[in-house]
Amino acid sequence: MNSLTHTHKAWLLLGGLLIATLPGWAGDQYQLHLASLIAVYWILIAGLNMVVGFTGQLSIGHVGLLCIGSYAFAVLAGKSGWHPALALVASGVLGGVCGLALGLPSLRLPGFYFAMATMAFALIVNDLVLAQVDLTGGGIGLPGPLFPAPFDSPSGFYYLVSLLALGVTWLSWNLGRHMWGRALISIRDNPVAAQSVGVAVFRAKLTVFVFSGVTAGLAGAVFASLQSYITPDTFVFELSLFFFVCIIIGGRGSIIGPFIGTVVLTALPELVAPLAKLGNFFYGLLLLVVVLVVPEGIGRVFDIIRERLRPRVVHREPISPDLARLDRALKYKP
């Protein structure tokens, strides 16, 4: 987690090259669309990872923040005619504000209470969106505005979201590897001990929660643009579950784990048609299996396999006494 080894750096470079040149080697526009969707989801999940994976706050209502970001963008950039870049920033800010509003009362609550509060939040947002017909178009929804050139083509848009995702990833990686990140993990593992060593528990929780709100707002804005049309039907509770599962599958406390989780879980139903029908049942089953068998996430499975194939060589350096020298020392009489 701290610094990168050479192997890590090499992998990252390769991955980065693949991602940067994706419009070139992707098969067709559909696959490019899928890649952009993964990037959009990852913007939200990277932030949520801080809350769920690092701080251990089980928020299952983040789809509400995504919804707020999407509608904010659609209304500001569409109806009110703001410049999309400005609307994007505004969506992020609004997401953060709502994260603050949600987090302030609920973060003090114990685990289950907090989860229920976030779930209720998502349902309330859905209610409000449907009810405020004049603002949100109610059931009809709103069109999602495009970004201006050069981001209005599919590959241009892909670069935009990839850059955003990269930025968010870098932010959260920095958050995770410095002392701040350690503080978060300590809160997850044992809040009482954390408090006793001086970690400002509530302030830390609230800060990451607001951060996740900002990323959710940003993700919502680009999501609206990608989908080209948003309706309340899109933001169902099952989407929250999906985000949640990506993080848990990937492994809490890491960043690359949930990223791989996101890629796999988004692409899988597209590739395996029968899975698409089972959809949410499959996510539930996967979550249950992971929680029961490898709660640290699938990433752990790779670690275990790696250990079996290429066990870390532990250098044993026995310290053998230099008997002659010991003898001289014992016999030495000044």
Partner 1 sequence: MKSRFVQTTHALLMFTALVFGGSVLAADPIKIGWISSLTGALSSAALAENQGVQLAVDEINKNGGILGRQIELLTRDTSGDPTKAVNFAQQLAFSDKVHVVIGPVNSGEGLAAIPILARAGVPNIVIGSIDELIDPQKYPRAFRVINTNRQWISTANDYALKNLKKTKIAIIADTSGYGTASAKTATELLEKAGIKPVYSVLVDPNKTDLTDEMNKARAAGADIVMPWSAATGLLGRLLNARGDMGWRVPVVGHPALMAAQIRKLLNKPEYWESTFAAGYHSTTFGADGKLPQRTQQLVDKVRPKLGGGEIDVLFWWVAMGYDTVKVIEHAIKTSGSTDPVGIQKVLESTKDFKGVFATYSWSPTEHNGFPDSNMTVNSANTFKDGSFKSAPK
Partner 2 sequence: MLTVLITGLATGMLFAAVALVYNVMYSTSKVLSVTTGHISMLGGVFGAYAISVLQLHWTLGLLAAVVAGGAFGALTELLAIRRVLNRSDEHLWLLSTLALATMVQQAAGLWWGTEPKPFPRLIPQDFGVGVMDQKFWLPIGMTLLMAIGLELFYKRTMYGKVFMAMSEDAFAAQARGISTDRIRLMSYVLSGALGGLAGFAAGQLTFAFFALGLTLTLNGFIALAVGGLGSNVGAILGGAALGLLNAYASYWFGGEYQQTIAVGLLMIVLLVKPEGLLGDRQVRPV
Examine residue 109 and tell whether it contacts partner 2 (CB under 8 A): yes
**Residue 233 vs 317, nearer CB to partner 1:** 233
Tell me: does residue 284 bind partner 2 (CB under 8 A).
yes
Query: Contact between 44 and partner 2 (CB under 8 A)?
Result: no
The reply on whether position 58 binds partner 2 by CB under 8 A is yes
Nearest residue (CB) to partner 1, 22 versus 184: 22
Which residue, among 63, 42, 45, has the nearest Cα to 54 in the 3D structure? 45
Q: Does 236 bind partner 2 (CB under 8 A)?
A: no
| Region from 67-75, 124-132, 150-158, 209-217 binding partner 2, contact rule CB under 8 A | 124-132
SS3 283: helix
The span of 85-93, 247-255, 268-276, 303-311 binding partner 1 (CB under 8 A) equals 268-276
Q: Which of residues 274-313 bind partner 1 (CB under 8 A)?
A: 276-277, 279
Q: Does 324 bind partner 2 (CB under 8 A)?
A: no
Contact partner, 139, from partner 1, partner 2, none, Cβ < 5-8 Å per class: partner 1
Residues 6+ apart with CB under 8 A from 90: 72, 73, 76, 82
Residue 147 interacts with partner 2 (CB under 8 A)?
no
∠ Cα 192 184 256 (to 5°) = 140
16 binds partner 2 (CB under 8 A): no
Asked whether position 111 contacts partner 2 by CB under 8 A, the answer is: yes
User: Which of 296, 286, 291 lies closest to 250, judged by CA?
Assistant: 296
User: Looking at this protein, which amino acid is placed at residue 175?
Assistant: L
Closest CA to 126 of 24, 13, 244, 239: 239
Instruction: Determine contact, residues 201/52, Cβ cutoff 8 Å.
Output: no
- Least separation in angstroms between residue 222's CB and partner 1 is 14
Q: In the bound complex, what is the minimum distance in angstroms from residue 215's beta carbon to partner 1?
A: 19
Q: Which of 3, 6, 7, 27 binds partner 1 (CB under 8 A)?
A: 27
CA neighbor of 229 nearest in space, from 136, 137, 126, 142: 142
Angstrom distances, CA of residue 126 to CA of 57, 58, 70, 122, 137: 22, 20, 12, 6, 13
CA distance 61 to 259: 20
Contact stretch for partner 1 (CB under 8 A) within 58-66, 70-78, 228-236, 306-314: 228-236
Contact 119, 63 (CB under 8 A): no
| C-alpha span between 61 and 92 (Å, rounded) | 17
> How far is residue 293's CA from residue 219's CA, in Å, rounded to a whole number?
32
- Window of 142-150, 174-182, 198-206, 241-249 that interacts with partner 2 by CB under 8 A: 241-249
Q: How many CB atoms lie within 10 A of CB 192?
A: 8
Q: Which does 124 bind (CB under 5 to 8 A by kind): partner 1, partner 2, none?
A: partner 2
Interaction of residue 165 with partner 2, rule CB under 8 A: no
Secondary structure letter of residue 143 according to DSSP:
E
Measured from the CB of residue 25, what is the shortest distance to partner 2 in angstroms?
36
Tokens matching residue 7: 């192997």
Q: Report the nearest approach of partner 2 to the CB of residue 334 (Å).
A: 56
Cβ burial of 169 (10 Å; 0-12, 13-18, 19+) is middle
- Axis-axis angle for helices 237-250, 29-49 (nearest 10): 80
The contact set with partner 1 (CB under 8 A) reads 27-31, 33-34, 37, 127, 130-131, 133, 138-141, 143, 227-234, 236, 239, 269-270, 276-277, 279
The contact set with partner 2 (CB under 8 A) reads 56, 58, 60, 105, 108-109, 111-113, 115-117, 119-121, 123-124, 126-128, 130-131, 189, 192, 237-238, 241, 244, 248, 278-281, 283-288, 291-292, 295
